[in-house]
């Protein structure tokens, strides 16, 4: 199996996993479950999906440290902010 086939196979698995995580997110929404731990779970899936898009789809895995820090930093800051705001709303 050459390098190209191997890469395509990896990318296909990532695509399928992204689809599965999306269906999970939808199922959580439909179930009506709510609360801090549900939001933490949703944000963890956001981070995992975001990581794959950044590292593998955008190919920033091979970019300089600055670009990776900026991209992952964006998703971490936004997710953390959403969690803090959610917890503030629970009071």
Partner 1 sequence: MNSTVKQSEITTKYHLPGDLAIWVFIFAELLVFGIFFLSYAFSRAGNVELFNESQKMLDTASGAINTLLLITSSYFVVRAVTAIKSGDAQRCVNWLAAALLGGAGFLVIKMMEFADKISQGISLSTNTFFMFYLSMTFFHFMHVILGMIILAAVLVKARKGGYSATEFSGVETGASYWHMVDLVWIVLFPLVYVIR
Nearest to 43 by CA among 58, 24, 62, 66: 24
Residues 37-76 touching partner 1, rule: CB under 8 A, are: 39, 42-43, 45-46, 49-50, 53-54, 56-60, 62-64, 67, 70-71, 74-75
Are 76 and 59 spatial neighbours (Cβ–Cβ below 8 Å)?
A: no
Question: Tokens at residue 55, please?
Answer: 């590292």
25 near partner 1 (CB under 8 A): yes
Report d(CA 27, CA 58) in Å as an integer.
Answer: 27
Strand residues in 1-91 grouped as ranges (E): none
Applying CB under 8 A, the residues found at the interface with partner 1 are: 4, 7-8, 11-12, 14-15, 18-19, 22-23, 25-26, 28-30, 34, 39, 42-43, 45-46, 49-50, 53-54, 56-60, 62-64, 67, 70-71, 74-75, 77-79, 81-82, 85-86, 88-90
């Amino acid at each position: 199996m050459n390098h190209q086939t191997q890469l395509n196979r990896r990318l296909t698995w990532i695509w399928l996993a992204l689809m599965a995580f999306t269906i999970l997110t939808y199922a959580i929404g439909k179930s009506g479950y709510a609360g801090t731990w549900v939001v933490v779970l949703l944000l963890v899936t956001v981070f995992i999906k975001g990581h794959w898009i950044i590292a593998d789809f955008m190919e920033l895995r091979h970019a300089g440290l600055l670009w990776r820090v900026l991209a992952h930093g964006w998703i971490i800051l936004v997710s953390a902010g959403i969690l803090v705001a959610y917890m503030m709303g629970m009071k």
